A and B are shown apart, each in its own frame.
Chain A
Amino acid sequence: MSSTPDLDMLAAEYALGTLEGADLDRAIALEASDPVFRQDVLNWQMKLLPMIDAVQPEPVPADFWAKIESKLGPQQSATRVAAPAQASFWQRLFGDGAQSVSMSRRAALATSVGAAIGGFGLAKWLTVPPETPSQIAVLTTDAGAPTAVVSIYKSGIVELIPLQGIAVPDGRIIEVWTLQNRTQGPVSIGRMDQAKRLKLDLNTLQKPETGHLFELTLEPPGGSPTGKPTGPILMKGLVQVGV
């Protein structure tokens, strides 16, 4: 699977380093949220690499390595464990009660989510979890890939469930927003420094309704300085018709 020609050119220009403004924001967001785009960018970096080999190396100052080493933090005697293998899509969506399902079901979910939540699609493959959401929003990237789900429960709990990791760039965090009406504008309902299940705080807002928007952006540490989204949009989606 590879990017569309349009996205491949965006990846090429991003790798080259000439993007600015909204195009740059779009590429940053895709690189964080879309593994296919991220790989496409790396493929372009590899294609262009022989130019780097033509650059003359420079002599490094005497204490250069010592300075780097001092920034690495205390030396651990135990080895660091690499990131664990990702839980299956279904485990992430419904927690450990779900059985794991093949990747082809993931495509089915993306197109039939509304019906599936009612139990038409999923009941065939899963044990029914203790509480099914009454509504959901499927959040997709600019490239159209489903990347997270917001589950809205009758009890009033609203939860963000990422479907995969997000490669958060250094010096940024993820902020979660909802847009319920244009006059009020987007409201911050959560922050995290990496993709994880997160209970969202809608206490001061209305109950989510069909057509309300959820969106994730990259922001400086501590969140947006303005109280409105300032950084690239990683993914967004609307609350679907409830069942």
Chain B
Amino acid sequence: MTIDDAIRRCAVGDRGGLAYIYEQEAGRMLGVAKRMVAKAGLAEDVVQDAFLLIWRGAAQFDSTRGQGRGWVYAILRNRALNVLRSEGRLDPLDEAGMAELPSPDESADVLVERIEQSSHLQRCLAALDAMRRKMIVMAFTNGLTHGEIAAHLKMPLGTVKSHIRRALQALKECLK
């Protein structure tokens, strides 16, 4: 079975489909949620909500394109981003709050090393300037806003926005 098969099963009300997605992805989904929302309890809620959204949305999703896994993580990350946007984000200068986690700056470097060497994305990220690569990773895997990235890296907001835009354009060209 693939994730796409599992989504099709969810679409017809078969809980075995959701259970398969859970077995394959729940641990990683929790890892991603914790990177983004920091507080463990909140991260668990985000993952639970995501499973519910996957269950409810499966019937409307076109699972014939092999993009099921992308859809699952899009749902998860959007849920995390919605929680961050509505509940207020951690003040980047809040030392007590940040003590739980490695700094997004350092953890981005670690994560870049772990991206699958053979993936197209890894080669395209490697072609980016190190600062832009770090910003892309901080945005995508930590869920940081332009402002938060700017605060962490001690750079002006406008500079961060423009770096990220250019990085995405470079990735777009490279990934064609």
**Given A16-B168, A67-B48, A58-B111 contact (CB < 8 Å):** no
Q: Which of A58, A59, A64, A80 has the most CB of B within 10 A?
A: A58
List residues of chain B with CB within 8 A of the CB of A61: 44
- Contact between B28 and A18, CB atoms less than 8 A apart: no
Interface of B is mostly: helix
* Residue of B44, B114, B140 most packed against chain A (CB within 10 A): B140
A57 within 8 A of B: yes
Interfacial residues of chain B within 145-176, with CB under 8 A of chain A in the complex: 145-146, 164-165, 168-169, 171-172, 175
- Contact call B172/A8, Cβ cutoff below 8 A: yes
Given A71-B52, A80-B13, A64–B121 Cβ distance below 8 Å?
no
Known A45-B71, A79-B12, A81-B12: A51·B164 in contact at CB below 8 Å = no
Partner of A9, one of B32, B47, B165: B165
Q: Which residues of B contact A58 (CB under 8 A)?
A: 27, 30-31, 34
Q: Which residues of B are found within 8 Å of A9, using beta-carbon distances?
A: 165, 168-169
For B26, what are the chain A residues with a Cβ–Cβ distance below 8 Å? Answer: 60, 64-65
Query: By the criterion CB–CB under 8 Å, are B35 and A55 in contact?
Result: yes
Given contacts A8-B172, A42-B70, contact A56 B13 (CB under 8 A): no
Interface range, B side = 35 or more
Contact indicator A49/B73 (Cβ below 8 Å): yes
Q: Is B103 an interface residue (CB 8 A)?
A: no
B141: which A residues are within 8 A, CB to CB? 51-52, 54-55
A17 to B143: give the CA distance in the assembly, Å. 6
Contact mask for chain B residues 55-91; partner A; CB cutoff 8 A; 1 contact, 0 none = 1100110000001011101100100010000000000
A36-85 residues with Cβ-Cβ distance < 8 A to B are 41-43, 45-61, 64-65, 67-69, 71-72, 75-76, 78-83
The reply to whether A18 and B15 contact each other, CB–CB distance below 8 Å, is: no
Complex: how many Å from CA A13 to CA B165? 8
A167 within 8 A of B: yes
A-B interface pairs (CB < 8 A), number:
138
Give Cα A61 to B71, complex, Å.
Answer: 24
CA of A64 to CA of B41, assembled, Å: 12
- CB of B7 to closest CB in A, whole Å: 11
List residues of chain A with CB within 8 A of the CB of B175: 47
Nearest to B11 among chain A residues (CB) is: A82
CB-CB under 8 A from A60, the residues of chain B are 26-27, 30
Tell me the minimal C-beta distance from B135 to chain A in angstroms: 9
Q: Which residue of A lies closest to B13 (CB)?
A: A80
Assembly CA distance A51 to B145 (angstroms): 17
A12 within 8 Å of B by Cβ? yes
In the complex, chain B residues whose CB is within 8 Å of the CB of A68: 18, 22, 48, 51-52
A72 and B59 contact, CB distance less than 8 A: no
Which residues of chain A are within 8 angstroms of B27 by Cβ–Cβ distance? 57-60
Complex CA distance for A55 and B140, rounded to whole angstroms: 11
Q: Is B137 interfacial (CB 8 A cutoff)?
A: yes
B23 CB to nearest chain A CB (Å): 9
> Which of these, B59, B67, B115, contacts A46 with CB under 8 Å?
B67
Chain B residues in contact with chain A, CB under 8 A? Answer: 11-15, 18-19, 22, 26-28, 30-32, 34-35, 44, 47-48, 51-53, 55-56, 59-60, 67, 69-71, 73-74, 77, 81, 111-112, 114-116, 119-122, 136-137, 139-141, 143, 145-146, 164-165, 168-169, 171-172, 175
Q: A45-B71, A45-B73 are in contact. List 6 more A-B contacts (CB 8 A).
A: A50-B116, A50-B119, A50-B122, A69-B15, A75-B15, A80-B13
On A, residues with C-beta under 8 Å from B are: 8-9, 12-13, 15-18, 20, 41-43, 45-61, 64-65, 67-69, 71-72, 75-76, 78-83, 165, 167, 170
